[in-house]
Amino acid sequence: MELHDRNSENNSNRKLTVFVDIDGVLNTEDHLRRQKKQTGRTTSRDWCPIAMAHLKLVVEYYNGQIVVTSTWRYDHSLRQLKALFEENGVPGDFVVDVTPSLIYESSGKVNRGDEIRQWIAEHLYSEEIPRYVILDDIDEGLSQFGERFIQCDPQVGFADKAKVKKIAALI
């Protein structure tokens, strides 16, 4: 796949933050089915290689950094998440953080969109044109981000080329 940068002069030195969910985006139903067929077993730690190749392409091309939004962050440290991405083909150094778990900090109802909103408020300068995308299979408060929310079909996740093209058209 070829990528391009529409505003390369303005954006080439600015990081693209990619908020990444795991189940339904990298750990896909199609790939679990493939594992079952090939080995008779499935493991959620073995993610779709096509989705991972697409993610690697995006973060390498757009000077990207990955922030994990998945519930995997509840029971995996950042170090463990980095190792998992690395084992699945995306260098761990690209994984820089996780979104805050607001649900553990208040009794009120908080959704994933609010957690991302808070991370952006704390880490991305408001005067900048926002440079981020959100990959998730479920719209849990994410439609507020408009076209920056790239919704994936949990069958194929980010293995769908059209999602990569959507990012290319946006950035």
User: Which residues form the interface with Mg ion (CB under 5 A)?
Assistant: 21, 23-24, 137
Q: What span, in angstroms and rounded, lies between the C-alpha atoms of 167 and 154?
A: 18
Residue closer to Mg ion (CB basis): 137 or 160? 137
For residue 65, CA distances in Å to 16, 22, 133, 134, 158 come to 6, 15, 11, 12, 16
Residue closer to Mg ion (CB basis): 24 or 64? 24
Q: How far is the CB of 23 from Mg ion (least distance, A)?
A: 4
11: which residues sit within 8 A by CB, 6+ positions away?
5, 131, 171
Q: How far is the CB of 153 from Mg ion (least distance, A)?
A: 11
Q: Which of 116, 108, 111 is nearest to 135 (CA)?
A: 116
Residue closer to Mg ion (CB basis): 58 or 137? 137
Residue closer to Mg ion (CB basis): 23 or 160? 23
Q: How far is the CB of 25 from Mg ion (least distance, A)?
A: 6
Q: How far is the CB of 29 from Mg ion (least distance, A)?
A: 11
- Select the residue whose beta carbon is closest to Mg ion and give its number: 24
